């Protein structure tokens, strides 16, 4: 709005439609040919293409996976990571029974994107377009299935309800009171950097439990977009291409810290895997798990043009889950209502589905 944006900048996938709808980013289709698109995961290309036009280049993908403590699972008599959500619930019961103060994982009330990724995995489609009309459907049967599942997990006290990366959540992990983490590929580096060294070798990574076969949603992920006022769009796209499709570009991105970035260009996965030190995960080839999950990301998901409003309402409503003063279903109903109202206020054509 100030008119002084950089030529090229990072935008996460969920926020890109908002930038596009408000005219803040440039249509870069003339610089993005079929050969360049073919370098990226098709799911990432889909999320950067709106109305048939390219508005960004994908940098990383963020497939959701399950991180778990092998020793705590063994103590509970669990011999392998759960492959279905039914098994996940059964394992949650075992973890709690083995150690009453422990839980298998955490529902994050402050981070709706985690729930959204699981709705995505289940085949939900919260947003779509028909002609020039946005369609909003946060209460579909697929979403309701996920909502009912997690509501019962919360009601039965089988998971924690704590803010993500909060002091209490981190402490529960450090003390071995939380045995798992439903996170994205980038979470591998975050977890490694958060936990004490004596937990090295105790953690492993597995595909996310599924409803009916291998599937995954995305939890985050970022792109390079070009600002609307840039007069160097061609150069900006050239830089973004270097940053997202070359070994040098990815190495520059992950050269500091313990980043477990998963490149949107599959050819660069070996580069990222080599740069990530996996001793914390017992030397496991974590990128092989990420790669399998990335291939199964659903291709029908679309982010809406006002995710800030959608997520704020969800976050406010999810905040009532810990004391059981609200439900996930109520949160979805409120978010549906507020999202429709926001889109109408922006002068967009919209319909509920």
Do residue 228 and residue 308 come from a single domain? no
Question: Above pLDDT 70, what percent of the chain?
Answer: 99
Residues 61-107: tens digit of each pLDDT = 999 999 999 999 999 999 999 999 999 999 999 999 999 999 999 99
User: How far apart, in whole angstroms, are the C-alpha atoms of residue 116 and residue 160?
Assistant: 18
Give Cβ neighbours of residue 46 (< 8 Å, ≥ 6 apart): 299
Do residue 88 and residue 212 come from a single domain? yes
Residues 227-243: tens digit of each pLDDT = 999 999 999 999 999 99
Residue finishing a domain among 256, 271, 295: 295
Do residue 237 and residue 201 come from a single domain? no
Q: Is 37 part of a structural domain of the chain?
A: yes
Residue finishing a domain among 274, 295, 316: 295
Do residue 251 and residue 192 come from a single domain? no
276-303 mean pLDDT: 95
Q: Count structural domains, the chain.
A: 2
CATH of the domain at 17: 3.40.190.10
Please tell me the predicted confidence (pLDDT) of residue 233. 97
Least confident of 45-54, 159-168, 212-221: 212-221
283-294 mean pLDDT: 97
Confidence tier at 214 by pLDDT (50, 70, 90): confident
Do residue 71 and residue 116 come from a single domain? yes
Do residue 108 and residue 257 come from a single domain? no
Q: Is 70 part of a structural domain of the chain?
A: yes
Q: Is 238 part of a structural domain of the chain?
A: yes
6-24 mean pLDDT: 96
Confidence tier at 256 by pLDDT (50, 70, 90): low
User: How far apart, in whole angstroms, are the C-alpha atoms of residue 248 and residue 36?
Assistant: 17
Residue numbers of the domain that contains 312: 64-216+302-352
Please tell me the predicted confidence (pLDDT) of residue 259. 79
Residue finishing a domain among 271, 295, 319: 295
Residue showing tokens 């050239």: 238
- Stretch (H or E) spanning 126: none
Give the orientation angle of helix 328-345 with respect to helix 307-318, to 10 degrees. Answer: 150
Retrieve residue 103's tokens.
């839980």
Do residue 135 and residue 85 come from a single domain? yes
Please tell me the predicted confidence (pLDDT) of residue 258. 62
Residues 178-196: tens digit of each pLDDT = 999 999 999 999 999 999 9
């Amino acid at each position: 709005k100030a008119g002084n944006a950089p030529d090229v900048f990072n935008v996460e996938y969920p926020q890109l439609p908002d930038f596009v709808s408000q005219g803040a980013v440039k249509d870069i289709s003339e610089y993005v040919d079929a050969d360049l698109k073919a370098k990226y995961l098709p799911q990432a290309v889909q999320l950067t293409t709106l109305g048939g036009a390219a508005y960004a280049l994908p940098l990383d993908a963020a497939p959701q996976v399950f991180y778990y403590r092998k020793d705590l699972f063994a103590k509970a008599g669990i011999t392998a990571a759960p492959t279905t959500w039914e098994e996940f619930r059964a394992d949650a019961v075992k973890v709690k029974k083995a150690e009453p103060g422990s839980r298998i994982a955490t529902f994050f009330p402050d981070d709706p994107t985690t729930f959204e990724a699981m709705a995505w995995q289940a085949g939900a489609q919260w947003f779509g377009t028909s002609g020039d009309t946005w369609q909003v459907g946060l209460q579909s049967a697929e979403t309701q299935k996920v909502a009912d599942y997690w509501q019962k997990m919360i009601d039965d006290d089988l998971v924690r309800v704590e803010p993500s990366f909060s002091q209490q959540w981190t402490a529960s992990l450090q003390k071995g009171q939380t045995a798992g983490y439903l996170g994205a590929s980038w979470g591998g580096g975050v977890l490694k950097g958060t936990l004490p060294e004596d937990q090295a070798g105790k953690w492993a990574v597995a595909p996310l439990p599924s409803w009916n076969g291998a599937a995954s949603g995305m939890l985050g992920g970022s792109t390079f977009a070009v600002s609307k006022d840039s007069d160097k769009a061609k150069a900006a796209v050239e830089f973004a291409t270097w940053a997202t499709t070359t070994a040098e570009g990815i190495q520059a991105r992950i050269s500091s810290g313990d980043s477990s970035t998963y490149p949107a260009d599959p050819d660069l996965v070996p580069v990222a895997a080599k740069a990530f030190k996996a001793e914390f995960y017992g030397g496991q080839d974590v990128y092989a798990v990420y790669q399998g999950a990335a291939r199964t990301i659903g291709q029908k998901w679309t982010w809406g043009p006002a995710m800030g409003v959608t997520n704020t309402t969800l976050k406010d409503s999810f905040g009532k889950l810990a004391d059981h003063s609200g439900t996930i279903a109520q949160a979805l109903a409120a978010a549906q209502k507020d999202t429709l109202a926001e889109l109408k206020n922006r002068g967009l054509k919209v319909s509920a589905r």
